Amino acid sequence: MSMPAEEARAGEILLEIRDLRAGTEEREILTGVTLTIRRGEIHAIMGPNGSGKSTLSYVLAGRPGYRVSGGEVLYKGEDLLALPADERARRGVFLAFQYPVEIPGLSVVNFLRAARNAVHRPEMPPLEFHRFLRSKLSLLDMDEGLVRRYLNEGFSGGEKKRNEILQMAVLEPEMAILDETDSGLDIDALKDVSRGINAVAGERVGVLLITHYQRILNYVTPHVIHVLVAGRIARSGGPELATELERTGYDSLREEEAAAAGPLA
């Protein structure tokens, strides 16, 4: 059973981002992001296209091609940015991709077992892993036939996103970063994925849920919503902030950020 929200917010700090500035070699995209996520909390990042939402997820996960130009990120008090991507995963950081890749010839079950054994020690023997996997499929109310197929090959958009949540369940991370997991989903798939997130999230997991629209927040209730505009957090608030944004859009926040930045030199 999940602990009450008040108790969860009083828990251990999992992720602390301080004035993070990052981007590609060509340009800076994140221009000073600061936020703190505690164990048991769900934080949602919203914002218009091009605001830096996916860049934030890539930098946290250690994706190649992105560089940090300032600030710091602490994960359980440790410098996350100093760790290679595979070590971040072993420490308990998970990223669900917006566009999961297909890998023909590699079954989902073999991929999941290899991923689990790469992250957790000691390795789980095959029979024990299959029992463990069945328990996760049952938790998420997923068909066992899915894991016998090749990874994402021929999967619908909903199946790919459900498979991402299954990976999260199998890896049992402490910090989960979900990059636009609701992208391209119809309402039935959205409900299924949302139920999966709620089933896997709990008192020991921190979740950073990146989304462009309010609709997933009708099913996954965040403790805090942050609005990213022009590479920085323009506003933070409770779940009611999503409803306000659905009504007003992002234009007023863009104008506020432009005014705060001052006239061009």
| Overall residue count recorded for the chain in this entry | 265
Task: Report DSSP state, residue 69.
Answer: E
Task: Work out the percent of the chain whose per-residue pLDDT is above 90.
Answer: 72
Residue range 214-233: mean pLDDT, rounded? 94
Contact 65, 246 (CB under 8 A): no
Residue range 238-257: mean pLDDT, rounded? 82
Could you tell me the CATH superfamily of domain 5-101+174-261? Answer: P-loop containing nucleotide triphosphate hydrolases (3.40.50.300)
3-class DSSP string for 161-211: HHHHHHHHHHHCCCEEEEECCCCCCCHHHHHHHHHHHHHHCCCCCEEEEEC
Q: How far apart are CA 219 and CA 166, in angstroms?
A: 18
Q: Which of the pair, 183 or 219, is modelled with greater confidence?
A: 219
Contact 210, 182 (CB under 8 A): no
In this prediction, residue 128 carries a pLDDT of 96
Sheet bearing 206-210, strands edge to edge: 93-96, 175-179, 206-210, 42-46, 224-229, 232-237
Number of Cα atoms under 13 Å in the Cβ half of residue 264: 0
Q: How far apart are CA 25 and CA 27, in angstroms?
A: 6
Residue type, 163: N
Q: How confident is the model at residue 259 (pLDDT cuts 50, 70, 90)?
A: low
Q: What is the pLDDT of residues 221-230, one digit of tens each?
A: 999 999 999 9
Q: How far apart are CA 94 and CA 177, in angstroms?
A: 6
Q: What is the pLDDT of residues 22-45, one digit of tens each?
A: 999 999 999 999 999 999 999 999
Omega prior to 122 cis, within 30 of 0? yes
Q: Where do we find the tokens 């999992």?
A: 14
Q: How confident is the model at residue 75 (pLDDT cuts 50, 70, 90)?
A: very high
| Strand residues in the chain grouped as ranges (E) | 13-23, 28-38, 42-46, 67-75, 78-79, 93-96, 103-107, 150-151, 175-179, 206-210, 224-229, 232-237
Residue 170 exposed, middle or buried by CB count within 10 Å (0-12, 13-18, 19+): buried
* Residues 60/63/65/66 CA torsion (nearest 10 deg): 0
pTM of the model: 0.88
Which residues touch 31 (CB under 8 Å, ≥6 apart)? 21, 52, 230, 231, 232
Residue range 43-48: mean pLDDT, rounded? 94
- What angle in degrees, to the nearest 10, is found between the helix axes of 157-171 and 187-200? 0
Residue range 54-81: mean pLDDT, rounded? 94
Both tokens assigned to 179 = 């990059």
